[in-house]
């Protein structure tokens, strides 16, 4: 009988050591970088953007994440549309642009093409950098 009690205590001790407590899941919070405000285009597809090749003014975009909107200029024409911002991606939707002609608006067509669909982005040193398929396509600097 004593032997049975010892075996039972041994087995109880052995199995009680295998009890694993489940860790309490921690909530993961991913912050969305603040891209709100006015941004001036510095580079597009590796080319430096200049006023002389932009039409009337330097291209600028203004992001308003509170109402998911985008406004700005291609340098020649005004643009507006909807955006959806996640921590690493901006989806551009329903983009509309005026249709004035500027003979020196070299960056307008590439800019409008890039603002279709989604682009990955990073924000560092007051520069907003957009990439597509791992390639840097646009660099903006926060406008004053």
Instruction: Give the pLDDT confidence of 120-139 residue by residue, as tens digits.
Output: 999 988 899 999 999 999 99
Paired with 62 in beta bridges are 38, 71
- The confidence score (pLDDT) of residue 106 equals 93
For range 73-81, the mean pLDDT: 96
Q: Please indicate whether residue 33 or residue 97 has the higher confidence score (pLDDT).
A: 97
Average pLDDT of the chain to the nearest whole number:
88
**What is the DSSP secondary-structure string of 71-133?**
EEE-SSSEEEEEEEE-SSEEEEEEEEE-----TTBTTHHHHHHHTSEEEEEEEETTEEEEEET
The DSSP secondary-structure symbol of 24 reads P
Q: How far is CA 102 from CA 106, 107, 123, in A?
A: 9, 11, 31
Q: With beta carbons less than 8 A apart as the criterion, state whether 141 and 42 touch.
A: yes
CATH label, 37-142, candidates 3.90.226.10, 3.40.640.10, 3.40.50.720, 2.40.128.270: 2.40.128.270
Whole-model pTM?
A: 0.78
pLDDT tens column, 1-49: 666 566 655 555 555 555 566 677 777 676 788 999 999 999 999 999 9
The DSSP secondary-structure symbol of 15 reads H
- The confidence score (pLDDT) of residue 27 equals 73
- The confidence score (pLDDT) of residue 75 equals 95
Minimum mean pLDDT range among 4-18, 50-64, 106-120: 4-18
User: Given a cut of 60, is residue 87 above it in pLDDT?
Assistant: yes
Q: With beta carbons less than 8 A apart as the criterion, state whether 54 and 107 touch.
A: yes
Distance CA 69, CA 62 (A): 8
Per domain, the residue ranges of the chain are 37-142
């Amino acid at each position: 009988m004593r032997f049975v009690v010892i075996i039972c205590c041994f087995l109880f001790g052995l199995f009680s050591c295998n009890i694993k407590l489940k860790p309490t899941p921690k909530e993961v919070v991913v912050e969305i970088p603040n891209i709100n405000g006015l941004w001036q285009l510095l580079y597009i597809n590796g080319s430096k953007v200049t006023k002389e090749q932009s039409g009337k003014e330097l291209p600028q975009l203004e992001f308003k994440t509170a109402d998911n909107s985008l406004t700005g200029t291609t340098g020649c024409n005004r643009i507006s549309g909807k955006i959806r911002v996640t921590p690493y991606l901006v989806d551009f939707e329903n983009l509309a642009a005026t249709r004035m002609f500027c003979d020196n608006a070299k960056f307008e067509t590439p800019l409008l093409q890039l603002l279709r669909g989604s682009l990955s982005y990073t924000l560092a040193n007051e520069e907003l950098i957009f990439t597509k398929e791992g390639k840097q396509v646009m660099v903006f600097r926060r406008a004053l």
